[in-house]
Amino acid sequence: LCDPLLSCSGGAGALARWVLVELQGEVEPRQGRELAGSLLGDLHYTCEGVPVLIVGHHILYGKVVQLEKPFAVLVKQGGAPQPSPGGPHGHYTVTALIKTKLLFKTRPKPIITHVPKKV
Amino acid sequence: AAMSGRSRAEVQATLQTAKLDPAELLPAVHCLSFGPQAGAGECCLLQLEPGLCAELEAGRSLVIRGEKDEQAVLCSKDKTYEMKIADTSNMLLFIPGCKTPEELNTDPTPCNVIHSQIAGFSNNYWELRRCRPKLKKLRKLLMEDPYEGPDRHKDQTTTFSRYTTEDLLSLIQASEDEILHQLQVIDACKIEEYWRILQFDYEMKLLNHVTQLIDSESWSLSKVPLRTCLEELGSLEPREMIEHILLSYGRKYVDDGGEVYFEMHEDKICRAIAQMLLQNAVKFNLSEFQEVWQQSVPEGMTTRLDQLKGLALVDRSSRPETIFLLKVEDLPEDTQERFNSLFGIREKWTEVDITPYIQDLCAEKQTVGALLTKYARCSMLNGVKVYNSRRPIS
């Protein structure tokens, strides 16, 4: 007999609201550093509500998108193998809902100077 | 590691280097860093079809069902969805506690540095597509140990291949509502917490008790009293079984006096008796069958071939014309496999003949015509439109 593979966290209003940030390309840590704990960048918004992300030496301009189809974030309980083509196996919990994404599609504008101002 | 986070001064310095004017920006800034489990791949995204988000927010559950050899499906309380991975060329980062501009504008403490940890990232997500519930397995499980009546010793032995509602929920790739509805459709009953299907012979035995009683009491077929049935038949069979057979083959109602009656389903009774006759041979001479069949049904009932849709098939090309048992529930569940099977049985089908055998394959809002267009090829035979396979039959 097979246990149900997904259980939802209980109670109305118990689900957190997260945000999705969509970037072009891949996320790679700076050489020699672990991903966990490392900085991605600073996220600002203009007064008009345009998101601006400063990542390394790049400035990315994006837009706030209300998702037509929201996402549920599933968190695996107790580390297990990756989802197989047949479908996710193992226990998952719905942890959060995502209704908004910050989409950064524009080509990054490089910051010309490489020298950060010392404080 | 920079877990303690960047300071306001560092943020301002970066803005300056980037030549961005703080006056054009909202005062708050999110400093994004990767959380401790971000790279572990423990989080994944599930894209929600309309209605599912509201269900989750209302505190209802979604369940993923499927054994290792099955394609996983996602079930809400009343619907079933296929799951498929969708790849994106972009990177999706999921961030708790990240505020949108609207949320910041209503924030009472506007000027702050918000340290947000990225919980995970992915370049794919699960997509859902509403599908037919996979219910063929339900009948298969219940047929492992059909109920043959209380006298049989078999029933006192192991409950190994018997299933409770919970068992079925964990084994069948369908939503709870769809499973419960199907149990009703197939006339399953609960005996001591287990769902059971009656063995056909026992079912006919029960039905026969009832129809003979109707006959001997000269009751109207639309007003069969429960109380009297239980009184007269209670010594022959368990009361639950008498009531079950009445519920299976009739519509229950209560009259003004509070008495329970059943309006018997003539079509269903005739159909069951046809099955009983047809299962004894490979095929029958049609006219002989029709005669025997009419004689076998209760007084006052009229047999018609259209009562046998999805149960039997008439061969009008043979001389003499014949009829044989072909039950739709014995055919494959997968659409392509079903069509292959049907075209293996008969090369060319009229729409009228094939419809009962493909009706259940239609998705929400899909017509039989649309299915035929997709899975069959149309041609004319003696002035009649017929359908045959799109592919050569092996």
- Output the CA angle B8-B14-B15, nearest 5 degrees: 90
Q: CB neighbours (10 Å) of residue B195?
A: 22
Tens of pLDDT, residues B272-305? 999 999 998 899 999 999 999 999 999 899 999 9
The ipTM is: 0.80
Contacts of B47 in chain A (CB under 8 A): 69-71
Does residue A47 belong to the interface with chain B, where contact is any CB pair within 8 Å?
A: yes
* Closest partner CB to B92 (pick from A22, A35, A113): A22
The values of phi and psi at residue A96, to 5°, are -155, 165
Tens of pLDDT, residues A50-61? 999 998 888 999
Is B157's pLDDT higher than 80?
no
| Residue of chain B with shortest Cα separation from A25 | B90
The values of phi and psi at residue B216, to 5°, are -70, -30
| N- to C-terminal Cα separation, chain A | 63
Give the whole-angstrom CA distance, residue B333 versus residue B135.
9
pLDDT given for residue B68 in this prediction? 74
Give the whole-angstrom CA distance, residue B329 versus residue B311.
9
pLDDT given for residue A10 in this prediction? 44
- Across the interface, whether the CB atoms of A111 and B17 are under 8 A apart is answered yes
Does residue A65 belong to the interface with chain B, where contact is any CB pair within 8 Å?
A: no
Give the whole-angstrom CA distance, residue A2 versus residue A7.
14
Q: Residue B96 — pLDDT band, cuts 50, 70, 90?
A: very high
Give the whole-angstrom CA distance, residue A58 versus residue A19.
21
Tens of pLDDT, residues B32-61? 998 888 877 788 899 999 889 988 888 888
Please, are residues B197 and B139 in contact by the beta-carbon 8 Å criterion?
yes
Q: CB neighbours (10 Å) of residue B226?
A: 19
Contacts of A34 in chain B (CB under 8 A): 1, 39
pLDDT given for residue B365 in this prediction? 84
Q: B378: Cβ–Cβ under 8 A, 6 or more apart, which residues?
A: B372, B385, B386, B387
Rounded to a whole number, what is the distance in Å from the CA of B148 to chain A's nearest CA? 25
Contacts of B174 in chain A (CB under 8 A): none
Alpha helix positions (H), B22-159:
52-57, 101-105, 136-142
pLDDT given for residue B1 in this prediction? 35
3-class SS of residue B340: helix
Is A1's pLDDT higher than 80?
no
Does residue A61 belong to the interface with chain B, where contact is any CB pair within 8 Å?
A: no
pLDDT given for residue B357 in this prediction? 98
User: Smallest Cα–Cα separation from B192: which of B227, B235, B221, B150?
Assistant: B150
- Across the interface, whether the CB atoms of B33 and A70 are under 8 A apart is answered no
Give the whole-angstrom CA distance, residue A102 versus residue B90.
12
- How many residues would you count in chain A? 119
Does residue A78 belong to the interface with chain B, where contact is any CB pair within 8 Å?
A: no
Domain ranges (residues) in chain B = 8-129, 135-148+162-197, 200-264, 297-389
Stretch (H or E) spanning A114:
none
Tens of pLDDT, residues B302-337? 999 999 999 999 999 999 999 999 999 999 999 999
Least confident range of A74-83, B198-207, B302-311: A74-83
Is B193's pLDDT higher than 80?
yes
CA pseudo-torsion sign B313, B318, B322, B324: negative
pLDDT given for residue B273 in this prediction? 97
DSSP tag of B147:
B
Rounded to a whole number, what is the distance in Å from the CA of B314 to chain A's nearest CA? 40
Provide the mean pLDDT of chain B.
91
| Residue of chain A with shortest Cα separation from B7 | A119
- Among A30, A48, A73, which would you mutate to test the B interface (most chain B Cβ atoms within 10 Å of its Cβ)? A73
CA pseudo-torsion sign B171, B172, B177, B181: negative
CATH number of B200-264: 1.10.10
Give the whole-angstrom CA distance, residue B153 versus residue B169.
29
pLDDT given for residue B103 in this prediction? 87
Give the whole-angstrom CA distance, residue B80 versus residue B65.
10
Give the whole-angstrom CA distance, residue B271 versus residue B279.
12
- Among A54, A77, A91, which would you mutate to test the B interface (most chain B Cβ atoms within 10 Å of its Cβ)? A54
